[in-house]
């Protein structure tokens, strides 16, 4: 059963300008495994985290580091949640997330479906 859907779109150049203006932001938004990804992939990870929050109804208090997007060679990306994001998911009855991310022509996007067993 679908609990929620979230989508987000990020202008890659504008996102990178923001990271350049506020260098500490990269550490605040991304886990160590994510921080060194190429610019378009970073923007896509940011869009994914925003989409995850939206799929949960955007509850306050969730921490950026409590959601990580992992690459899976030849497969769909995997969402790992813990802490505040895991708690929000549990409160909503969410068992799993389905994530699609893309980046092309200077735009990064992500779409998330939050699901629970019926």
- 73-85: pLDDT as tens digits: 888 899 999 999 9
For position 40, what pLDDT does the model report?
Answer: 93
Q: Residue 53's domain is classified under what CATH number?
A: 3.90.470.20
DSSP state letter for 91: H
Q: Mean pLDDT for the chain?
A: 93
Average pLDDT over residues 76-98: 95
Q: What is the domain count for the chain?
A: 1
What whole-number percentage of the chain has pLDDT above 70? 100
Tens of pLDDT, residue by residue over 50-60, are 999 999 998 88
The 107-115 sheet, strands edge to edge: 2-11, 107-115, 96-104
Nearest-10 Cα torsion for 69, 12, 15, 23? 70
d(CA 14, CA 4): 28
| Percent of the chain residues past pLDDT 90, beyond the cut | 83
Domain that holds residue 71: 2-115
What's residue 14's pLDDT? Answer: 97
Cα angle value 25/26/29 (rounded, 5°): 80
Model pLDDT for residues 12-50, shown as the tens digit of each residue: 999 999 999 998 999 999 999 898 899 999 999 999 999
> pTM of the full predicted structure?
0.92
Given pLDDT bands bounded at 50, 70 and 90, which one contains residue 118?
confident
For the stretch 38-77, what's the b/e string if a residue is b when 16 or more beta carbons lie within 10 angstroms of its beta carbon? Answer: eebbbbbbbbbbbbbbbbbeeeeebebbbbbbeeeeeeeb
Tokens of 26: 């990269």
Strand extents, DSSP E, the chain = 2-11, 67-70, 78-81, 96-104, 107-115
């Amino acid at each position: 059963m679908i609990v929620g859907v979230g989508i987000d779109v990020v202008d890659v150049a504008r996102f990178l300008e923001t990271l350049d203006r506020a260098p500490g932001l990269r550490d605040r938004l991304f886990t160590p495994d994510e921080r060194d990804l190429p610019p378009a992939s970073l923007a896509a990870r940011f869009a994914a985290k925003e989409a995850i929050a939206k799929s949960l109804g955007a509850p306050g208090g969730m921490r950026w580091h409590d959601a990580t997007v992992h690459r899976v060679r030849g497969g769909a990306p995997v969402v790992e949640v813990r802490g505040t994001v895991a708690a929000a998911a549990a409160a909503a009855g969410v068992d799993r997330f389905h994530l699609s991310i893309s980046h092309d022509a200077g735009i990064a996007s992500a779409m998330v479906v939050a699901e629970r067993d019926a």
